């Protein structure tokens, strides 16, 4: 029976080296998982005096595995089933934390998930990770094969948890962080849903009046020799123009939206649009709050889990959506790496309000920067919720006012046309 030498960590994080007999590499990994060990390295012991051809084959397979590990993420082997996406990240981490907190090793938990999970994309992700782990890769190394699911910050946090033996704590903090981000996105979608719904309904009502009801009134009044009121004549002119040139207007609007979207997705477009957001009084406070929340949440999680300050700052910069704020933060990071303090370097970014800078300066001076960042994150999470609620009310009120005004004008025009029609009958 083949014999495998291994280096592994136990649940307390202690590293040990030994060997065991197993019929295959995967069976050896299962035996280690059953003992509560997380393998760091495992190699099959080969007698050089016997079966040199077999030894050569083993070396070739080992070299092939190493080459596979060295390939870029896009070229590594993956399951060809449903391709997982970023949406599966939180569900996977939650399921993994549930199993590892019950006493299973990370590898055994992923093996179990690859068998038990029913959702196709999540099951594909678990199967792909288990395949990499079965080849001897660590969990963080396996996660790098799926950059579309796990960002660099998540992978580095998992790697830090593996190195320190605190994977469960890292998973809990990462899950809490991602849950807060998802809740913020949900609040934003909910805030925009009602105004969009009102605009769609109002648009349908207006189109019904312009293209269905008004042309019939116009035809009836014209046949009776009546004269259209001024308000009705304006609406009829709008209706005629839309009927004649509506296709051209719609095509132009679609082309304009596509062109604007492509420009926005380009780097110059993102920079220009982000700069515009910071100049508009209604959107600037929300953009600043989003940046402060992203920095406070991400940096606190990274520093709390053992990531170095330099790496944590670089990874935090990638989480800032506003390009203007991101560039300012990167410039501040360069100054921090040269020896400047966090709070003094961040003063010149224009990303942080003065009160936040004071809190961070106190936390930095007392050695409690992580609690200070957490407190800022909680404060700005609540502030963004308040800003979203206020924006919802303002936008909904503006939409309703515009809809009622235009519908009222249409109703007045139709009533005026009806009275004109009645007057033509009386004559």
The domain that holds 22 is classified in CATH as 3.10.20
Asked if the structure places residue 233 within a domain, the reply is: yes
- pLDDT value at residue 254: 93
Question: Are residues 155 and 199 located together in one domain of the fold?
Answer: no
Question: Are residues 205 and 102 located together in one domain of the fold?
Answer: no
pLDDT at 11 over 60: yes
- pLDDT value at residue 101: 86
Question: Are residues 337 and 268 located together in one domain of the fold?
Answer: yes
Asked if the structure places residue 297 within a domain, the reply is: yes
Asked if the structure places residue 82 within a domain, the reply is: no
Mean pLDDT is highest, among 211-215, 257-261, 418-422, for: 257-261
- pLDDT value at residue 212: 77
Asked if the structure places residue 262 within a domain, the reply is: yes
Quote the domain boundaries for residue 102.
88-165
Question: Are residues 62 and 203 located together in one domain of the fold?
Answer: no
pLDDT at 195 over 90: no
Asked if the structure places residue 66 within a domain, the reply is: yes
Task: Out of 39, 73, 107, pick the residue that ends a domain.
Answer: 73
Task: Out of 116, 131, 165, pick the residue that ends a domain.
Answer: 165
Question: Are residues 13 and 92 located together in one domain of the fold?
Answer: no
Give the count of beta carbons closer than 10 Å to the beta carbon of residue 214: 22
Tell me how many domains the chain contains.
3
Asked if the structure places residue 78 within a domain, the reply is: no
Question: Are residues 407 and 306 located together in one domain of the fold?
Answer: yes
Question: Are residues 148 and 185 located together in one domain of the fold?
Answer: no
pLDDT band at 12 (very low <50, low <70, confident <90, very high): low
Question: Are residues 106 and 250 located together in one domain of the fold?
Answer: no
- Over residues 26-55, mean pLDDT: 62
- Over residues 71-81, mean pLDDT: 41
- Over residues 405-416, mean pLDDT: 80
Question: Are residues 405 and 258 located together in one domain of the fold?
Answer: yes
Question: Are residues 155 and 172 located together in one domain of the fold?
Answer: no
Q: What is the pLDDT of residues 89-113, one digit of tens each?
A: 888 999 888 888 888 888 888 888 8
pLDDT at 318 over 70: yes
- pLDDT value at residue 259: 93
- Which pair of tokens denotes residue 347? 């003063």
> pLDDT averaged over the chain?
78
pLDDT band at 424 (very low <50, low <70, confident <90, very high): low
Question: Are residues 332 and 209 located together in one domain of the fold?
Answer: yes
Question: Are residues 258 and 210 located together in one domain of the fold?
Answer: yes
- pLDDT value at residue 421: 67
Task: Out of 73, 100, 135, pick the residue that ends a domain.
Answer: 73
- Domain of 96, CATH number, reads 1.20.81.30
């Amino acid at each position: 029976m083949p014999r495998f030498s291994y280096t592994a960590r136990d649940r307390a994080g202690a590293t040990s080296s030994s060997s065991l007999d197993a019929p295959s590499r995967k069976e050896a990994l299962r035996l280690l998982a059953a003992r509560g060990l997380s393998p760091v390295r495992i190699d099959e012991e080969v007698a050089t005096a016997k079966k040199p051809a077999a030894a050569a084959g083993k070396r070739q397979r080992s070299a092939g595995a190493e080459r596979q590990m060295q390939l870029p993420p896009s070229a590594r082997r993956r399951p060809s089933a449903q391709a997982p996406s970023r949406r599966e990240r939180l569900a996977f981490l939650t399921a993994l934390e549930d199993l590892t907190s019950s006493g299973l090793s990370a590898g055994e938990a992923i093996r179990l998930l690859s068998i038990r999970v029913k959702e196709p994309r999540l099951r594909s992700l678990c199967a792909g990770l288990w395949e990499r782990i079965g080849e001897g890769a660590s969990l963080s190394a396996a996660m790098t094969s799926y950059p579309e699911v796990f960002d660099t910050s998540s992978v580095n946090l998992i790697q830090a948890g593996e190195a320190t033996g605190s994977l469960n704590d890292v998973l809990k903090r990462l899950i809490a962080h991602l849950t807060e981000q998802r809740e913020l996105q949900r609040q934003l979608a909910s805030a925009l849903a009602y105004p969009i719904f009102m605009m769609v309904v109002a648009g349908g009502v207006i189109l019904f009046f312009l293209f269905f009801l008004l042309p019939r009134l116009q035809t009836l009044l014209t046949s009776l020799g009546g004269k259209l009121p001024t308000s009705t004549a304006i609406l009829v002119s709008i209706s005629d123009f839309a009927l004649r040139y509506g296709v051209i207007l719609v095509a132009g609007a679609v082309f304009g939206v596509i062109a604007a979207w492509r420009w926005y997705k380009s780097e110059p477009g993102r920079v220009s649009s982000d700069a515009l957001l910071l100049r508009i009084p209604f959107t600037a406070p929300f953009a600043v709050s989003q940046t402060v929340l992203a920095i406070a949440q991400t940096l606190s999680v990274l520093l709390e889990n053992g990531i170095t300050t330099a790496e944590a700052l670089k990874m935090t910069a990638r989480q800032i959506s506003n390009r203007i704020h991101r560039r300012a933060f990167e410039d501040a990071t360069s100054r921090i790496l040269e020896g400047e303090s966090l709070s003094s370097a961040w003063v010149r970014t224009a990303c942080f309000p003065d009160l936040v800078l004071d809190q961070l300066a106190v936390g930095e001076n007392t050695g409690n920067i992580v609690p200070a960042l957490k407190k800022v994150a909680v404060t700005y999470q609540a502030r963004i919720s308040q800003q979203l609620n206020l924006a919802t009310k303002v936008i909904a009120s503006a939409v309703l006012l515009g809809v009622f005004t235009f519908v009222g004008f249409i109703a007045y025009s139709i009533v005026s046309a009806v009275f004109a029609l009645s007057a033509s009958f009386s004559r």
